[in-house]
Structures are given as C-alpha cells and as structure tokens.
Amino acid sequence: MSFKKKNKPLPITSPFVPLLLPELDSDAFLYLTGNTAKLFIYLKRACRTAGLKLGASRESDVVFDYTYAEAKRRGFSNKAFARAMKELWEKGFIGVVKIGGTTFSEQGGRCNSQYKLTAYWTTYGTTGIGKWTDRTRFEPNPWARNEP
C-alpha cells in the first residue's frame, strides 16, 4: 500500500525560481534589457524567500528588500542596478514600498528600500484599450528627489 505525501511548501533552498509563462510571454518582459531580466529573477527569488519565511500565501502580499550590496554580489554595478530597478518599476514588475538610504530606522541605522512584486506588467503594451507604455504618466517616480 502506498501513501501520497501531503503537499508542503517548497523549502527556501528550493533549486528553482518560478518564472510564470504569462510573465515570460508578456510585452513588458520582451522589452526588458538583459541585466534587467536577470535582476527580475533575483528579485523573484528574494520575494519567494521572504514569503516562505513569513508564511505568505501570494507573491503580491510580500514586502522584501534588495540592497546594492546584494546586487553587487550578483555582478551588478551600482549604476546598472539602479537603472534595472527603475526599468522594472516602469514596466510594472515591481512597486516601491519605501525608499531607504537616507531614511533612518528606529535602531539609528539606515533603512533598506522595500519593494513588492506587482502585476502592472499585464497591461503594458503599445496598443489596445487599457495599455500603457510609460508608468511615469500615471504615477510619480519614487526615485525622484523632492527638493524644496
């Protein structure tokens, strides 16, 4: 007699990061540059890891951080990382929850920027009703410095 094992969530050290076919086939993903597509996979991994630690049921519920130091370990220069993050935001793959750096935490140190994965990429495109090509048309750039 054989028994089926109960479905358990994948461990944090699972050997893959799920890149869904709708994401892969979308116009938004098609127009990503190479570094940006590579970074998106690392962000999905960070989101998945944070979600499994927190017990979240959906990717879109997870707020995670990804630092310049982590990006540097993955081969990104500071400039390439910043450019790729902005491109992912513009195409609708990530949302910025909080910008860190100069913001200080309760412990007195600097805070990391926090992000979450979004599904705005589903409406990215060049034609059609409800399609858009530039997110900055309807949302302020989170990296723009607010100067008095």
Task: Indicate the length of the chain as a whole number.
Answer: 148
DSSP one-letter code for 97: E
pTM: 0.80
CATH number at residue 35: 1.10.10
Q: Give a yes or no: residue 16 inside a domain.
A: no
Residue type, 67: T
Q: For the chain, what is the domain count?
A: 1
User: Per residue in 26-52, pLDDT tens?
Assistant: 989 999 999 999 999 999 999 888 887
Residues 88-127 have pLDDT tens digits of 999 999 999 888 776 555 555 678 889 999 998 998 887 7
Share in percent of the chain as helix, strand, coil (round to 5): 40, 10, 50
- Structural domain includes residue 47: yes
Contact status, residue 141 vs residue 90, Cβ threshold 8 Å? no
How far apart are the C-alpha atoms of 137 and 139, rounded to whole Å? Answer: 6
Domain-embedded: residue 56: yes
Range of the domain at 105: 21-135
Helix (H, G, I), strand (E, B) or coil at 19: coil
Distance CA(96)–CA(86), nearest Å, equals 10
Q: Which two tokens stand for residue 145?
A: 């410095």
**pLDDT value at position 135?**
79
